[in-house]
Structure 1
């Protein structure tokens, strides 16, 4: 067996989560210098990653992105190389430039996809078919059939295909999952997640057109619930409801079909007891107040036959008050942007960082022959196989809204399908 070597990686998507740049300037959210690029630059400094590339649709953005990264990352942290190869080149605009970028890669390299929801599937397919490891942001796909395709493709090509469900690496969530396992049969789960109305401006190009707030936000806590209940209960039916009127009004003027808040009611069936059934309510909104003190309000409650768990992810007893902006709650457990005593980046313990590092480590291990890609399905990692029910619930919710009916979820052979 070979030793683990560094790995080359391509970042698909140049927006807020990758670079912290939104096109109109640095993001005003809690990701002002991004997550993906910053993490990969640091993994390169640490000797895990080598050559980096970034692909978007509009090559005209790259000069501003490079200046942003140079000032706010290279200029803020010691020994941080922010160089990368760009696609499309020469200020071109090309929606399929990801193909050119991927064609230059070799099997065993990594592709990290943070692009609009409808583009995840074609990019992931193109990469996996060329023997590349893939990390895709949530939701992995909008359609359950596409998710099933990626499971089969990853298995065929023996590559890692993971979904960037970083909340699985939150120490509080991880501890809560372990404690939930001791509480007996599941009974009730309730999750809330919201972001301020300003997000309707940030995401206006696709909000209500290519995806919705349930796919964008509820994907986080639906996956947490599926993760907690893995091997103990399965979803059987989804009914969705939505509030409207804010996103489509002034000053946001989103397309007429844009929902403000979406709630999914999901029935769960125990796999160990026919008499035990549970219910879950997942709500997501992007019409929260502009100055709520947190970028993402988020909490969830879990009840089982022997106890309950309540988690407020947004408020962890750490708040800062400023004359100009008032009180704000921060979450350094996610990404710590302040430098270390030596001046280096110091966010390696943040679960936003860890979720990317774990994927890179898995890809390097598979390349070295130390593990196989399917081994990670058995260990609770957010692999494409382990996250299929999250997509099933989200897709069922969208159908329920569009067709105004309950949608069933069942297993046919090895495949999960919708009714």
Structure 2
């Protein structure tokens, strides 16, 4: 074993979740200064990562992004260095700039991917094949076949490949999962997640074209359900239904195939009992009201043989009221943006931060020979292998909508496949 080294890290994607900057300016959501870049700047301050870089499609955005980060991060938190190398350079537009950025890294360094859903697979595979560790936002891929390919590629190249399912680190969700293990056979799960219609403006460039609201939002709770049911039940069939008409109308004018709200009905079968079967309903929407006081409405209900669990993630007994905007419910458990007493960033306990830090810790440990990438599959962490059923359900849902039929899920040897 060797000493822990600090990896260089490339951020793929320059948008809201990475920087808090969108195509129309600073984000108006609860991620006004982003999550990924802020976390990595702080991890660099704390001595866990080395050089940082960032890649997008257009280099023309970087002057505004740098100004935004300088003002809202370096200008707010003490000792926060917001420097990074950019790709593409010189105001160029390059859809494959990620290859140039990845090629500058050495094996054992890391790539964090927050780009449109349709680009996750080619970027992740390109990085893995060059010996780089990868953290990719959800959904890992849109196709189950691609997910299976990433599982095999990560094994072959002996790298860490995780999916950024940060809900697994929420103390409420993780505790609920532990409690569910004692409730016996699974019976019913119902999940709702929505964001306001303003998100259709933020995501207009890809909404309905490259992905849908089920991939974008339901992936959170589908993963939590799959995580809770690991070793208890497996999904066997998916039927999808959608509501339409708002996203495609004024003032949003998304492409004609954009759904407003998508619901997936999923059949589950017990892995231990021939008589026990369950059902799950996962619904997601990006046409919720604009002034509901929350950016993400999110709640779910779990019923099993010996009890049930109800979680309301949006209302945690902490609300603020402003004269100009009214009441809002806030969630500092996700990301705490207010500085510490010393003026430093103070969000290290937020589960959005922890999700990225745990990945960096795994990268450092594997590089030092202290652990193997496969070790993390055993601990309920969102590795690429542990999240395959989430992709299976999402992919089956998309096929069900497009082909207007139920879609089966089954295990074929070592692979999960769709029917």
TM range (shorter): over 0.9
| Residue 27 (1) aligns with residue 27 (2) | yes
CA distance in 2 between partners of 1:253 and 1:225 (Å) = 33
Gaps of 5+ in 2: none
Counterpart of 2:37 in structure 1 is 37
For 2:256, what is the secondary structure of its paired residue?
A: coil
Matched with 2:324 is 324
- Give the distance between the partners of 2:340 and 2:270, measured in 1 at CA: 47
**Cα shift readout 1:47-69 (whole Å, capped 9, x = no counterpart):** 00010000000000000000000
SS class of match (1:204): coil
Q: CA separation in 2, counterparts of 1:301 and 1:209?
A: 31
Partner of 2:183: 183
2:108 is matched with: 108
Shift of 1:232: 1.2
Q: Which residue of 1 aligns with 2:249?
A: 249
Question: Match for residue 6 of structure 1?
Answer: 6
How much has 1:278 moved relative to structure 2?
Answer: 0.4
Partner residue, 2:418: 418
Q: For 1:309, what is the secondary structure of its paired residue?
A: strand
Counterpart residue number, 2:268: 268
Matched residue, 1:206: 206
SS of equivalent residue, structure 2 residue 50: strand
The 5 Å alignment of 1:3-402 reads: 3-402=3-402
1:49 match: secondary structure: coil
CA distance in 2, matches of 1:251, 1:72: 30
CA contact (8 A) 2:140 2:391 kept: yes
- Give how far 1:405 is off: 0.2
Q: Is the 8 A contact 2:13 2:115 kept in 1?
A: yes
- TM-score normalised to structure 2 length: 1.00
Report deviation, 1:225.
Answer: 0.1
Q: Give deviations 1:208-252, integer Å, cap 9, x for gaps.
A: 000000000000000000000011110000000000000011111
| Offset of residue 205 of structure 1 | 0.6
* C-alpha distance in 2 between matches for 1:245 and 1:215: 19
Give secondary structure in 2 for the equivalent of 1:50.
coil
In structure 2, what is the Cα distance between the partners aligned to 1:202 and 1:43?
28
Distance 2:217 2:102 in 1: 29
Following superposition, the deviation at residue 24 of structure 1 comes to 1.7
Q: Give SS of 1:360's match.
A: helix
Q: CA–CA distance in 2 between the matches of 1:24 and 1:173?
A: 34
- Other structure's SS at 1:130 match: coil
- Does the aligned pair in 1 maintain the 2:23–2:202 contact within 8 Å? no
Contact kept, 8 Å, 2:30 with 2:295, in 1: the verdict is yes
- 2:55–2:88 contact (8 Å) kept in structure 1: yes
Q: Bigger CA drift: 21-30 or 31-40? A: 21-30
CA distance in 1, matches of 2:6, 2:253: 47
Structure 2 residue matching 1:263: 3-state secondary structure: strand
CA distance in 2, matches of 1:386, 1:65: 35
2:222/2:390 contact within 8 Å kept? yes
Contact 2:55 2:101 in 1 (8 A): yes
1:175-206 Cα offsets, whole Å, 9 max, x none, are 00000000000000000000000111110111
Alpha-carbon offset, residue 23 of structure 1:
2.4
Q: Secondary structure at the match of 2:308?
A: strand
Counterpart secondary structure, 1:7:
coil
Partner SS for 2:397:
helix
C-alpha contact (below 8 Å) 2:365/2:371 kept by paired residues: yes
Task: Provide the secondary structure at the position in 1 that maps to 2:320.
Answer: strand
**Deviation for aligned residue 1:269:** 0.4
Counterpart CA distance in 1 for 2:180 and 2:231 is: 13
Deviation digits for residues 256-303 of structure 1 (CA, Å, limit 9, x no counterpart): 100000000000001011111000000000000000000000000000
CA deviation string 1:147-192 (max 9, x = no partner): 0000000000010000000000000000000000000000000000
SS in 1 for 2:200: helix
The Cα offsets for residues 7-44 of structure 1, whole Å up to 9 and x where unpaired, read as: 11000000000000002211000000000000000000
- Tell me the C-alpha RMSD between the 2 structures: 0.4
Q: Which runs of 4+ in 1 moved over 6 A?
A: none
